């Protein structure tokens, strides 16, 4: 059972739904129309207690569907007054539900039939990594929550989790979920997608999203000829937001510091230290402009040059190395 949210005649409407078996999969079934405000169905008798209006449980029971009161209350948790929710969650979080082992049939479904797009979305929401590794090697239990649900319920569950994300994570989340890194050979695709040719990334995004639309919402599905409404949010996430912070530049600086911690360099390893004048020249900067820059502005300028001079884009390897050294040197000057 879950709460669905959709726009009807320009207004947001909520309804209780359930996933029921249908053929080889599941479909959604409406149970109760909650109207525009699910909170109006919560009754507070006093203190920290509350309960869901019995009209809802009675209506569901008349449909021949057993009602799990604990499950029903958990669905309304986000609509409960904040003070009572904090008090209730304190007790709810003290114990955990023991889950049954995954059956061979469920294991087979997860391994061979569960959409990879669902798996990659869930992995990013759990671990926040651009490249989680081979999805097929992940323990099946990680994907248990995607089992025995309709596409409608799966998407509503994802929307609920996505609403808790930071805005800065949106674009990276979509990049990882659609596995856009597979469109590129550069090592940067797995660590710093903002350094890639963004026009090529955009084209890859459009192609992959269309492929997902076709696989999740086949021709027999309503609106299959165009992008399904469930996928509209990913277009907004991708084009209206920037990438999350990358640790690659931090690694450049970390490696630089480690190289210079030696008090006695090995014979023959010494090289002429870079000068401020040379660093500015390699970074294509005037001294006056550099003095007025912040570290964020310098990093942004570096990324622009890195995309321009990267060997994968036809740039010279020596020039790219010199660019990295110049960036590291100037960042040290700013500390």
Determine which of 10-19, 28-37, 39-48, 149-158 has the lowest per-residue pLDDT on average.
39-48
Q: How confident is the model at residue 335 (pLDDT cuts 50, 70, 90)?
A: confident
Q: What is the mean pLDDT of residues 277-282?
A: 91
Q: What is the pLDDT of residue 63?
A: 94
Average confidence score pLDDT of the chain: 86
The backbone torsions φ and ψ at residue 119, rounded to the nearest 5 degrees and listed phi first, read -65, -45
Q: What is the pLDDT of residues 108-141, one digit of tens each?
A: 999 999 999 999 999 999 998 898 888 888 999 9
Map out the domains of the chain as residue ranges.
Answer: 2-92, 104-239, 248-262+272-334
For the cut 50, the answer to whether the pLDDT of residue 236 exceeds it is yes
Query: Considering the domain 248-262+272-334, what is its CATH architecture?
Result: Orthogonal Bundle (1.10)
Length of the chain: 335
Q: In this structure, are residues 3 and 14 in contact, taking their beta carbons and an 8 Å threshold?
A: yes
Determine which of 188-197, 203-212, 231-240 has the lowest per-residue pLDDT on average.
188-197
Question: Can you tell me the distance from the alpha carbon of 73 to that of 322, in angstroms, rounded to the nearest whole number?
Answer: 61
Q: What is the pLDDT of residue 238?
A: 97
Distances (CA, A) of 316 to 44, 68, 126, 327: 69, 65, 39, 17
- The CA-based angle 135-171-178, given to 5 degrees, is 30
Residue with more model confidence, 99 or 20: 20
Q: What is the mean pLDDT of residues 269-279?
A: 75
Q: What is the mean pLDDT of residues 301-324?
A: 79
Q: How confident is the model at residue 303 (pLDDT cuts 50, 70, 90)?
A: confident
What letters, b where the CB count within 10 A reaches 16 and e where it falls short, cover 13-23?
ebbbbbbeeee
Q: How confident is the model at residue 90 (pLDDT cuts 50, 70, 90)?
A: low
Q: What is the pLDDT of residue 315?
A: 76
Helix (H) / strand (E) containing 14: strand 11-22
């Amino acid at each position: 059972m879950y709460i669905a949210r959709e726009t009807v005649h320009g207004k947001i409407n909520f309804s209780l739904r359930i996933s029921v078996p249908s053929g080889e999969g599941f479909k959604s079934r409406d149970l109760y129309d909650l109207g525009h405000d699910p909170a109006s169905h919560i009754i507070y008798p006093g203190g920290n207690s509350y309960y869901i209006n019995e009209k809802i449980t009675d209506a569901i029971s008349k449909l021949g569907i057993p009602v799990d009161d604990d499950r029903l209350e958990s669905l309304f948790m986000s609509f409960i007054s904040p003070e009572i929710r904090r008090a209730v969650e304190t007790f709810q979080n003290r114990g955990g539900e023991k889950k049954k082992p995954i059956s061979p049939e469920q294991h087979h479904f997860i391994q061979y039939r569960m959409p990879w797009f669902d798996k990659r979305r869930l992995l990013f929401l759990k671990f926040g990594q651009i490249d989680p590794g081979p999805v097929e090697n992940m323990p099946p239990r990680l994907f248990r929550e995607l089992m025995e649900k309709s596409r409608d319920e799966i998407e509503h569950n994802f929307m609920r989790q996505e609403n808790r994300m930071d805005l800065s994570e949106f674009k990276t989340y979509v990049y990882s979920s659609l596995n856009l890194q597979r469109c590129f050979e550069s090592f940067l695709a797995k660590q710093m997608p903002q350094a890639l040719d963004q026009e090529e990334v955009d084209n890859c995004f459009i192609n992959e999203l269309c492929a997902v639309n076709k696989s999740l919402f086949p021709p027999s599905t309503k609106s299959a000829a165009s992008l399904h409404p469930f996928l509209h949010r990913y277009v907004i996430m991708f084009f209206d937001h920037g990438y999350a912070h990358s640790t690659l530049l931090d690694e450049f600086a970390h490696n630089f510091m480690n190289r210079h911690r030696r008090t006695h360099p090995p014979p023959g390893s010494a090289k002429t230290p870079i000068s401020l004048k040379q660093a500015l020249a390699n970074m294509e900067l005037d001294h006056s402009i550099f003095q007025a820059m912040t570290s964020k502005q310098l990093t942004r300028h570096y990324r622009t040059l890195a995309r321009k001079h990267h060997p994968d884009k036809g740039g010279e390897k020596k020039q790219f190395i010199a660019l990295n050294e110049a960036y590291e040197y100037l960042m040290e000057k700013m500390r």
